[in-house]
Chains A and B, each alone.
Chain A
Amino acid sequence: MELDELKTKWTTINTQLDQTQASQRAMEQSLKQLMLKPSKNRLAFEPGYELIMAGLGLLWSAGFVASHFSEVQKAPIGIAPAMMLFGLCLFTVIVNIRQLILISDVNYANPVVKTQKTLSKVRSLRVRSTQAVLLACLPTWFLFPLFLLQSVVGYEVLLKFNFSWLAANVGVGVLLSAGLFLLARRFGKTSRFFRLVEEAFAGTAVKRAEESLEELEAFEMG
């Protein structure tokens, strides 16, 4: 059997396929739902949502620093939680703007390789940034409730905690990360959330994104 011989058979079988009840049902169903169907393309939704949230976080942390400027000069350590949040939000804003710029280039009517390359870059950027945020935030989780406490109670509340208390919390953060890692390994196959966490820890999503780009480049180059 040669590939050329199969062309005729291929046409025949696909014409028959068109006549199957299942295919007709699927086409009719899709016609009815076309205008009702919400977009499953969440490409722009997630970065857009994260951009708004990170923008708000950026304004909040910057506003906090500005409104406590005189206290910051007296006790600079108190600014650490706000700076942590500011840094995280700034990183998220930059990464999401970059993603949205790439997404604006996606056009399914463009050649397949070009479109898929852009999509692969978006995915790669996304999984890398998710991994970076997760790994940075887990051990330093306690800084976020501290910032919240400072915002509600006052700037000086942080100064009441001593260094060993902070060090102990870093330790708790590390232990929590290890616990989450074990949970992710245990439930990664059944839960989408834990699978994402597991992939972020293990770097498999990053690896997959890289492989996807390599596959594309290999196909393009021949």
Chain B
Amino acid sequence: MTTLGRDIVINQARFESILHEHRLIVLKVVNAFTRHTEDQQDLIQEIRLQLWRAYPTYDSSRTFSTWMYQVALNTAISWSRSTQRSKRVSSLEQTLHEPTVVTEIDPDLYHLYDLINQLEPFNRALLLLYLDDLTHQEISDVLGISVSNVATKISRLKLRLRQLVTNSETPKGHINGTR
């Protein structure tokens, strides 16, 4: 094997290892943008491809997870805007009801997923980053908006969630039924 070939293999192995470590980011982003299994696979592939392409330009002074969020969100937003995706709902029940995973589902999570589904792609990205406990500065870096703008938008999102919960008349028992 040539030196170049060996470098590529080492790089790829390193990339796969880091990616595996942070795979939850990909899954979170994918789940926030599509719930259909085929679309999810498609988007996961697209994100991995974009991550692999962008990997050589990764600046190690930044945290990998923030960089990964940036690439994954950019890919997911482009993916969701590029074509009119079918409005196939939802493998969420299927996913959440997998016997190995969850035995009892918190109804609030449905409200949260409802909220996420109702948001525009950019607010969806913002909420995702907020829920993942990124600081306002980190969110500002990933999205490319000012820190004060981040704070304002998060307050609005909180208000929206409150309204959504208030307006919701869904009985808690529906969770185990079909939607």
Q: What is A's interface to B at a CB cutoff of 8 Å?
A: 1-3, 5-7, 9-11, 13-23, 26-27, 29-31, 33-34, 37, 39-40, 107-116, 119, 212, 215-216, 219-222
Residues of B4-33 contacting chain A, CB below 8 A: 16, 23-24, 26-28, 30-31
A111 touches B100 (CB 8 A): no
Listed from nearest, the 8 A-B pairs whose CB atoms lie closest are A111-B144, A113-B144, A222-B149, A109-B54, A108-B74, A30-B45, A10-B131, A219-B122
Nearest CB on A from B10, distance (A): 15
CA distance A2 to B145 in the complex (A): 24
Nearest CB on B from A42, distance (A): 9
Give the size range of B's interface with the partner: 35 or more
Nearest CB on A from B95, distance (A): 5
Q: What is B's interface to A at a CB cutoff of 8 Å?
A: 16, 23-24, 26-28, 30-31, 37, 40-41, 44-46, 48-50, 52-54, 57-58, 67, 70-71, 73-75, 77-78, 81, 91, 94-96, 98, 100-102, 106, 108-109, 111-112, 120, 122-123, 125, 130-133, 141-146, 148-149, 152-154, 157-158, 161-162, 165
B98 touches A112 (CB 8 A): no
20 A-B residue pairs with Cβ-Cβ distance under 8 Å, sorted by A, are A1-B111, A1-B161, A9-B106, A17-B27, A17-B31, A17-B101, A22-B98, A26-B41, A30-B44, A31-B48, A37-B49, A107-B57, A109-B57, A110-B74, A111-B143, A112-B143, A113-B145, A119-B81, A215-B122, A222-B145
B145 touches A20 (CB 8 A): no
Known: A16-B101, A19-B100. 9 other contacts (CB 8 A): A3-B158, A7-B133, A13-B109, A108-B71, A109-B70, A109-B71, A111-B70, A215-B120, A215-B122
CA distance A113 to B121 in the complex (A): 11
B77 touches A116 (CB 8 A): yes
Total contacts A to B, CB within 8 angstroms?
162
Asked whether A6 and B108 contact (CB < 8 A) given A34-B48, A107-B57, the answer is yes
B162 touches A113 (CB 8 A): no
A34 touches B52 (CB 8 A): yes
Q: Which residues of A contact B91 (CB under 8 A)?
A: 22
CA distance A201 to B160 in the complex (A): 38
B106 touches A112 (CB 8 A): no
CA distance A119 to B76 in the complex (A): 13
A9 touches B108 (CB 8 A): yes
**Which of A18, A219, A221 touches B27 (beta carbons < 8 Å)?**
A18
A108 touches B161 (CB 8 A): no
- Nearest B residue (CB) for A34: B48
- Nearest A residue (CB) for B76: A112
Nearest CB on B from A172, distance (A): 33
Nearest CB on B from A30, distance (A): 4
